[in-house]
Amino acid sequence: MSINLPKPPKVISKDGFHATIEIEGLYPGYGMTLGNALRRVLLSSLQGSAVTMVKIKGVPHEFSVVPSVMEDVVEILLNIKQLRFKMHSDEPQKVFLKVKGEKEVTGKDIEAPSQVEVVNKSAYIATLTDKKAELDIEMTIEKGFGYVPVESRKKEKLEVIFGGGYNKYEGAHFGKVIWARYASQSELGDHYYDDFATKTDGNIFAKANYQITEKISLFGDLQLRNVHYKANSYETGLVNDNFNFFNPKAGLNYDINANNKLYFSYARANREPNRTDYEGGNAKPEKLNDFEMGWRYAADKIQLNSNVYYMAYKDQLILTGKLDDVGSPIRSNSEKSYRLGLEVDATIALSKQFIIRPNFTLSSNKNIDLAVEGENYGTTDISYSPSVIVGNIIVYKPLESLQISWLQKFVGEQYMNNIELPAAKLANYFVNDLNIAYEIKPKSVFKSIVITGLVNNILDKKYISNGYMWDVYPYYYPQAGINFLAGLTLKF
């Protein structure tokens, strides 16, 4: 019996990094034999290069968010996994991604040494949504075979980082005559006060991570900071203050298994008053002792983050509910106060089309033995601090190019001052928004056309989210009823 030999391989389609190749005329059962051999070679025997370690500036863990970046850290890491590299060295190499401003970030933005080449430079990484946005990522590229679990990777037991910074701010403050009647010798444009203020801010810091065992690690952060204010004006009075702050932080991470992680941290923090605080009176710096403990769970379809915090303050700068003559909120020191709360957020993939992202915060925010204008009010709620905040996003993707999101938010009642005046209470509210995004990918001119539609307050709820107090009289900022917004984004 003779075995028929297959015909030469035929390329059915080829597009960039993807191809469909057909081999026909195989003897029965040989297709499986050939497929298994190809699979083994592709998965375990071809050497490749990949990202094995990522450091993102300002990000403490993978479940964080980067300010003014559309994607969270988990999404950024998943996008980085899609990058393909060609290495001309057997040693690990570092590449860097440093971008600023409003833009779409792709593989072409990566700064790589001569030993590393980014193959798919058009691979999408993230989108920066603000002109002041900044994304700073360091990636380690290594050669290897097959799949390597993270547990098998060797880690440096001790990592230490030192740094520092110095900034000087100079500001000219003045009042200009823009209109006047019978203003003596003054002319329009004259200054009726002038003040030159300076602020210097310098710091040095050290950060360390120590891997005790495979599951337990310690981290620490020490910062010495000096702030000097100098001003002399009618609003602030004579200011010549010098603050020396010591801000330590330490914590423990415990990896229970691949899905569950626990952490505990303590931090001491200090915050200086700002110019408006000086205008409001004799302001003191704020001191905080922060204790936090949390649990993180990550699986294929569920990610859950929970955090319990206790923040004990001395001289916390709290909002009084009053505004100054230019509409800026006035703060004052609360000699003793605390914030105790539980924060929970989750991402749950119900199916390929449905994702829900619930979150809530339950908290107690109190002034202790609060004294206002010589009168002691005992323990009171801190202003503008609701004890309940609940949110949820339901995402439905019927098509790859179409996403519909339903956003819900509940905010509990809160006070606009710190003495729990009944007239200062803002009622709770619950609002719903609807967001629709549809993406078109034309074959020429534009890479992508994104059409968005946003319907805010779809139930036309009448509610007040903020306000201020004039003595004992409340003034409110009522929010808009149902309103619409449409957008068009063209990507070249």
Residues 121 and 79 in one domain: yes
Say if 391 falls within a structural domain: no
C-alpha dihedral, 134 to 140 to 146 to 150, nearest 10°:
-80
**Closest Cα to residue 308, out of 290, 329, 325?**
290
Q: What's at 474, amino acid-wise?
A: P
Provide CB contacts within 8 A for 234, sequence distance 6+. 193, 195
pLDDT of residue 110: 94
- Decide which of 104, 120, 145 is a domain's last residue: 145
Residue 465 lies in a domain: no
Cβ within 8 Å of residue 136, ≥6 positions away:
56, 57, 58, 96, 97, 98
- Looking at the domain assignment, is residue 211 inside a domain? no
> Is residue 80 a contact partner of residue 96, using CB atoms and an 8 Å limit?
no
Does some domain include residue 157?
A: no
- Contacts of residue 400, defined as CB under 8 A and 6 or more positions apart, other chains included, come to none
pLDDT of the residue at 5: 73
Both 94 and 14 in one domain: the answer is no
* Position 249 in a domain: no
Residue 148: per-residue pLDDT: 63
DSSP state of 446: -
Look up the CATH number of the domain holding residue 67.
2.170.120.12
Residues 19 and 67 in one domain: no
Range with the largest mean pLDDT of 104-118, 230-244, 376-390: 376-390
Tell me, yes or no, whether 395 lies in a domain.
no
What is the enclosing helix (H) or strand (E) of 320? strand 302-323
Give whole-number Cα distances, 149 to 1, 81, 261, 327, in Å: 48, 14, 17, 56
As beta bridge partners, residue 106 has 124
Q: Is residue 242 part of a domain?
A: no
pLDDT value for 150: 57
- Give the tens place of pLDDT for each residue, 331-365: 999 999 999 999 999 999 999 899 999 999 999 99
- Domains in the chain: how many in total? 2
| Beta-bridge partners for 13 | 20
Radius of gyration of the chain (CA): 29
pLDDT, tens only, 229-257: 998 877 778 889 999 999 999 999 999 99
Check whether residue 114 and residue 98 sit in a common domain: yes
The pLDDT-based confidence of 147 (bands split at 50, 70, 90) is low
Distance CA(264)–CA(245), nearest Å, equals 23
Mean pLDDT of the chain: 88
Distance between CA 98 and CA 137 in Å, rounded? Answer: 6
* Domain extent at residue 127: 48-145
pLDDT for 459 beyond 60: yes
22 and 55 co-located in one domain: no
DSSP strand pairing (134-145 vs 116-118)? unpaired
14 belongs to a structural domain: yes
Tell whether 105 and 68 lie within a shared domain.
yes
Instruction: Find all residues with CB under 8 Å of 218, minimum gap 6, and list them.
Output: 209, 210, 212, 250, 251, 252, 253
User: pLDDT-based confidence at 491, cuts 50/70/90?
Assistant: confident
- Between CA 313 and CA 438 the distance in angstroms is 47
* Cα distance from N-terminal residue to C-terminal residue, the chain: 61
